[in-house]
Amino acid sequence: MFNKLQNLVYRLLRKSEQYTHTDMIYLAKGGFWLTLGQFIASGASFLLAIAFANLLPKEAYGNYRYILSLLGILSIFTLSGINTAVIQAVARGLEGSFWPSFASKLKWSILAALGSIGIAIYYYINDNLLLTTSFVMIAILLPLLRSSALYISVLNGRKDFRLSTIYSSYVRILATASMIAVLFFTDNIFVLLAAFFVPETILNFIFTWVYIKKHPLNKEKDNQTVAYGINLSAMDVIKAIAGQVDKILIYHYLGAAQLAVWAFTTAPVSQIKSVLMNVKSLALPKLSQTEDKDIQTHFLNKLKKVELVVLLIIVFYALLAPFLYKIFFPQYLESIKYSQVYVLTLLFFPRTFLSTVMVAKKKIKELYNIRIISPILKIIIIFFALKYFSLWGIVIGMIISEASLFFLYQLNYKKAFRSDENRP
């Protein structure tokens, strides 16, 4: 089914009704390595989920997910948008943009460290030693972790999905193995976080040094890359908060155990989204090189076929979910009914390809419209849905917020790529 998605993506990207030989080679090589990388990442995540479900109490896992949620918000200051901007620049041969981007990412990450120290002080005052020590460690590691992974953007911009997959897989396998090994001996969240993040950070720095030494970057650079990356990051500030608001609200209003239930509700669907995100990774470098008029001609019509494939995935998952949970996550059987409905959020996922196009073509105004309005709506919807309808409210609220995003994508895509004769 993933191969069908790859074929459809190329029918979105091509300039004529026939594949070129170069396109077919790119699809075959890039698609294979991205599929392999996703298979390894999903396998590692699946094994880690089984370990969590069977070795860690619900309360402890809820605390772990809460820490990761706050870490996700702190990551706003690590300028995640620079990763995308570097891919876009490198795809155009401007590889010298990497080093200014790396320096900016590291510099801005200091704000994330200060924010983490602030959270640690808050929980120290409130006598919560677990969260205090966890956020002190995050303050030390987060800037290094996020900056060290930027080399992956160079690999993706160069369309070297083979090395990207190899390096990323080494990091994921070692970090996952480290955490699973620790789970057999302790349920201390501080130790678990260290077991995952320390190996990942060290390996990322090693691979950055090894790769750039063997494959030097050219001197050409786009002086707008950092500014564009900051713009993309600024657009995602509210989105990052909205992406974690469900977990933070559940933790505070329903408790750590219910957050654990919610985490296992969304985890399988999140893995499916990760597969689809790899297809977007394949698309971004090519879209950066495609003319606007070619995008205008066929993109929306072809996207409808991607949506049909996703619909089949939804039906397949809804039927399979009860068996998966009973075999692998027996402590979280109550998550089944929520997950079978939550998977409907995938209905709207293909339209995020419209955002990929707008990123590739630097449609900043339209991207701001989407990434500010949509997360604000999501935060409002999720807050009231949880307040009045508990976990079921969160499920329905997530579907409604994804539907609203669908319409925003449609509207802003049409504005961004309307033909010149229709422009005022």
Q: Is the CB of residue 5 less than 8 Å from the CB of residue 276?
A: yes
Question: Does residue 424 have a pLDDT over 50?
Answer: no
What's the pLDDT at 291?
54
At CB < 8 A and 24+ separation, what contacts does 61-65 make?
61/256, 61/260, 61/263, 62/251, 62/255, 62/256, 62/257, 62/258, 62/259, 62/260, 62/263, 63/130, 63/131, 63/189, 63/256, 64/189, 64/192, 64/193, 65/247, 65/251, 65/259, 65/260, 65/263
Q: Locate 272 and state its tokens.
A: 């499916």
- In tens, the pLDDT along 89-126 reads 998 889 999 999 999 999 999 999 999 999 999 999 99
- In tens, the pLDDT along 343-376 reads 999 988 777 777 777 776 677 777 777 778 888 8
Q: pLDDT band at 419, cuts 50/70/90?
A: very low
Q: pLDDT band at 30, cuts 50/70/90?
A: low
Question: Does residue 394 have a pLDDT over 70?
Answer: yes
Read off the DSSP letter of residue 290.
Answer: S
Q: Give mean pLDDT, residues 192-219.
A: 92
d(Cα 86, Cα 288) in Å, to the nearest integer? 12
What's the pLDDT at 132?
95
Q: pLDDT band at 21, cuts 50/70/90?
A: very low
At CB < 8 A and 24+ separation, what contacts does 49-54 make?
49/264, 49/267, 49/328, 49/329, 50/328, 50/329, 51/179, 51/180, 51/183, 52/183, 53/264, 53/328, 53/329, 53/330, 53/331, 53/332, 54/331
- Can you say how many angstroms the Cα of residue 186 is from the centroid of all Cα atoms in its chain? 29
Q: Is the CB of residue 417 less than 8 Å from the CB of residue 296?
A: yes
Q: Give mean pLDDT, residues 385-397.
A: 90
- In tens, the pLDDT along 43-90 reads 898 899 999 999 999 999 999 999 999 999 999 899 888 998 999 899
Q: pLDDT band at 251, cuts 50/70/90?
A: very high
d(Cα 178, Cα 197) in Å, to the nearest integer? 10
pTM score:
0.79
d(Cα 65, Cα 71) in Å, to the nearest integer? 10
Q: Locate 339 and state its tokens.
A: 């997950």
At 390, the amino acid letter reads: S
Q: Give mean pLDDT, residues 211-235.
A: 88
Q: Is 250 exposed, middle or buried (0-12, 13-18, 19+ CB in 10 A)?
A: buried
* Max avg pLDDT among 3-12, 19-28, 312-321, 374-383: 312-321
Q: pLDDT band at 13, cuts 50/70/90?
A: very low
